[in-house]
């Protein structure tokens, strides 16, 4: 136990398996950069406040920079018996520079240190994820611009509902991803708060300067309660919740891409580089990427529930349970980044079969609402119009014909209000053109939203 930084009060060494069981170095080593950056800021503050000598500060900073190089060169030997990234680095520093290294942890605890490291790490990752969201939005906007004349059936209950522009459908996802991005931007405000100086739980007896540490690390705010600062993981939970909603959106989009690329629909084709074949069925081209993103959504929801459950009922302040915060967080970051990246590329490469879409848009009585609206414009109350068109649809179903095949005489069986202008009123183009309200599918409205979204960036 003498190799431990906390070995003083122990007589028995840690059980070998317990050592491995309680260690976090296997996964928290990815915080090395943040840990070193935080320690350098802390050491400089200790020096400025006269708590340690400026010579010590210089040695510490130099020593930490050496360690950073070693880790980045892959020559740093991480040790399980040193438990976590914080003690691995600190022990190595003391081994390298002696006394000064042992002064680094003055006025600090691993509890405020780990809170700082996660906040520094998550802050950069959120910014990175937002960049990936922007790339996906960009790919969607480009496809939307290219498909302003592509008409598809819009669905409710996955049954043909009304014709819409394919661009309008894509722009629905742009709205979702813009909200996801806004949520992450907002989350960032609460991540971006500096906890160091909270000590183990109650603050520290040394005359530290927390604002100076915050300044060096680019934090606009410091935490205001030491107990809260070392036991708060809301900021991670909030990120996981935002990530879950984002993945939910990606999973819905995935589902649609999968359906659209079936031979029954054939609305789109994903490029070969995002699909795989079957080892038995030679004709298969499977949409693996959207399927996998749809599947990975479960992993991210799981991570949110895992951390919520870890944090549930924990008494203040730090508890070892909280070491379980990192793997769900890291896994979510990796999953979200990977999913966004692959999606942006896939959307860019997606081939659109506009003829198939247009044909499907005209089927399934997709223009029935417009027939009812037509009658309303002629003076019939909407409920009566709905009834009359319902009867017309029934007639078409019974006679195995499409609504577009009805003659004027047949139309007039259902209402005297029908006139020869009915035919041009219910083309799919007219149906789309008529939905000229803000947020509607009319071409110029969709174009307005594309412009608005491009300008907002
Ligand atoms: N590895 C620990 C964690 O990730 C660091 C904080 C440890 N603090 C403690 N009192 N054991 O939570």
The 10s digit of each residue's pLDDT in 146-176 is 999 999 999 999 999 999 999 999 999 999 9
Count of alpha carbons within 13 angstroms of residue 245, beta-carbon side:
15
H helical segments located in 267-421: 288-311, 326-349, 354-362, 368-377, 382-398, 408-411
Spatial distance between the Cα atoms of 131 and 129, rounded to a whole number of angstroms = 5
Looking at the predicted complex, does its ipTM rise above 0.90?
yes
**Positions marked active-site:** 157, 278
User: What proportion of the chain, given as a percentage, has pLDDT over 90?
Assistant: 92
pLDDT at 1: 54
Domain boundary among 55, 89, 106: 106
User: What proportion of the chain, given as a percentage, has pLDDT over 70?
Assistant: 100
In a domain, 2, yes or no: no
Domain that holds residue 451: 364-455
Which residues sit with their C-beta closer than 6 Å to ligand 1? 24, 28, 84, 110-111, 114, 318, 320, 322-323
Q: Is residue 249 located within the same domain as residue 193?
A: yes
pLDDT at 424: 94
H helical segments located in 32-109: 32-48, 54-73, 85-97, 99-103
**How does residue 309 score in pLDDT terms, banded at 50, 70 and 90?**
very high
Q: What is the mean pLDDT of residues 176-180?
A: 98
Exposure b/e, 291-319, CB count within 10 A at least 16 = b: bebbebbeebbebbebbeebbeeeeebbe
Q: Is residue 298 located within the same domain as residue 194?
A: yes
Q: Is residue 304 located within the same domain as residue 335?
A: yes
Provide the number of structural domains found in the chain.
3
Residue 453 makes CB contacts below 8 A (sequence gap 6+) with 137, 141, 171, 174, 178
Q: Is residue 225 located within the same domain as residue 331?
A: yes
Best of 31, 83, 111, 311 to mutate for ligand 1, by most ligand atoms within 8 A of CB?
111
Q: What is the mean pLDDT of residues 411-424?
A: 96
Q: Is residue 185 located within the same domain as residue 120?
A: yes
pLDDT at 391: 96
Q: Is residue 270 located within the same domain as residue 335?
A: yes
Q: Whose CA is nearest to atom 3 of ligand 1?
A: 323
114 alpha carbon – ligand 1 mean position (Å): 7
Spatial distance between the Cα atoms of 141 and 344, rounded to a whole number of angstroms = 11
In a domain, 214, yes or no: no
Spatial distance between the Cα atoms of 364 and 239, rounded to a whole number of angstroms = 42
Domain boundary among 59, 91, 106: 106
Residue 58 makes CB contacts below 8 A (sequence gap 6+) with none
Best of 32, 85, 112, 114 to mutate for ligand 1, by most ligand atoms within 8 A of CB?
114
Is the pLDDT at 224 greater than 80? The verdict is yes
Is the pLDDT at 369 greater than 60? The verdict is yes
* Cis preceding linkage at 192, omega within 30: no
Q: Is residue 224 located within the same domain as residue 308?
A: yes
62 alpha carbon – ligand 1 mean position (Å): 25
Domain boundary among 79, 106, 133: 106
- In the beta sheet, which residues pair with residue 90? none
Q: Is residue 334 located within the same domain as residue 418?
A: no
**How does residue 11 score in pLDDT terms, banded at 50, 70 and 90?**
confident
pLDDT at 456: 87
pLDDT at 272: 84
Is the pLDDT at 433 greater than 70? The verdict is yes
Look-up: residue for tokens 């029908």? Answer: 418
Q: Is residue 48 located within the same domain as residue 86?
A: yes
Please report the sign of the dihedral spanned by the C-alpha atoms of residue 442, residue 443, residue 448, residue 453: positive
Atom of ligand 1 nearest to the CA of 326: 4
Q: What is the pLDDT of residues 182-202, one digit of tens each?
A: 999 999 999 999 999 999 999
**How does residue 258 score in pLDDT terms, banded at 50, 70 and 90?**
very high
Least confident residue range of 48-57, 111-120, 158-167, 275-284 = 275-284
pLDDT at 2: 60
pLDDT at 9: 84
- Here the tokens at position 257 are 């891409």
Q: What is the mean pLDDT of residues 229-256?
A: 98
Three-state DSSP at 359 gives: helix
pLDDT at 280: 76
pLDDT at 179: 98
Q: Is residue 268 located within the same domain as residue 187?
A: yes
Instruction: Share the mean pLDDT of the chain.
Output: 96
- Using an 8 Å Cβ cutoff, are 171 and 15 in contact? no
Name the CA dihedral angle for 104, 110, 114, 116, rounded to a multiple of 10 degrees: -50
Q: Is residue 314 located within the same domain as residue 421?
A: no
In a domain, 293, yes or no: yes
**How does residue 38 score in pLDDT terms, banded at 50, 70 and 90?**
very high
């Amino acid at each position: 136990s003498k190799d431990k930084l906390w070995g003083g009060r122990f007589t028995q060494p840690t059980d070998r398996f317990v050592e491995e069981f309680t260690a976090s170095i296997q996964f928290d080593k990815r915080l090395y950069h943040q840990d070193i950056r935080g320690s350098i800021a802390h050491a400089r503050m200790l020096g400025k406040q006269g708590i340690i000598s400026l010579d010590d500060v210089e040695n510490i900073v130099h020593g930490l920079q050496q360690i950073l190089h070693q880790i980045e060169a892959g020559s740093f030997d991480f040790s399980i018996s040193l438990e976590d990234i914080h003690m691995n680095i600190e022990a190595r520093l003391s081994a390298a520079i002696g006394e000064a290294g042992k002064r680094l942890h003055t006025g600090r605890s691993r509890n405020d240190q780990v809170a700082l490291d996660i906040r520094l790490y998550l802050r950069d990752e959120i910014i990175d994820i937002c960049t990936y969201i922007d790339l996906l939005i960009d790919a969607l906007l480009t496809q939307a611009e290219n498909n302003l004349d592509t008409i598809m059936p819009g669905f409710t209950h996955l049954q043909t509902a009304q014709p819409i522009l394919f661009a309008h459908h894509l722009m629905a996802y742009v709205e979702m991803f813009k909200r996801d991005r806004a949520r992450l931007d907002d989350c960032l405000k609460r991540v971006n708060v500096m906890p160091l100086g909270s000590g183990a739980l109650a603050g520290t007896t040394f005359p530290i300067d927390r604002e100076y540490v915050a300044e060096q690390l680019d934090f606009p705010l410091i935490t205001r309660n030491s107990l809260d600062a070392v036991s708060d993981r809301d900021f991670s939970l909030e990120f996981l919740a935002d990530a879950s909603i984002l993945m939910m959106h990606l999973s819905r989009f995935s589902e649609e891409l999968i359906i659209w690329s079936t031979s029954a629909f054939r609305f789109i084709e994903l490029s070969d580089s995002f699909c795989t074949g079957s080892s038995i069925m030679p004709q298969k081209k499977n949409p693996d990427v959207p399927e996998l993103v749809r599947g990975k959504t479960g992993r991210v929801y799981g991570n949110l529930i895992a951390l919520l459950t870890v944090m549930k009922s924990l008494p203040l302040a730090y508890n070892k349970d909280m070491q379980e915060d990192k793997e769900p967080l890291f896994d979510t970051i990796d999953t979200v980044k990977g999913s966004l990246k692959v999606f942006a590329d896939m959307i860019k490469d997606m081939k659109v079969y506009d003829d198939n879409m247009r044909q499907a848009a005209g089927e399934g009585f997709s223009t029935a609402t417009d027939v009812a609206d037509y009658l309303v414009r002629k003076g019939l109350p909407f409920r009566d119009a709905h009834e009359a068109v319902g009867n017309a649809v029934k007639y078409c179903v019974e006679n195995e014909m499409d609504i577009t095949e009805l003659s004027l005489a047949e139309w007039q069986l259902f209402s005297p209000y029908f006139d020869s202008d009915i035919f041009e009123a219910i083309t799919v183009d007219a149906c789309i053109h008529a939905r000229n309200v803000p947020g509607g599918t009319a071409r110029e409205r969709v174009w307005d939203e594309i412009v608005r979204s491009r300008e907002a960036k």
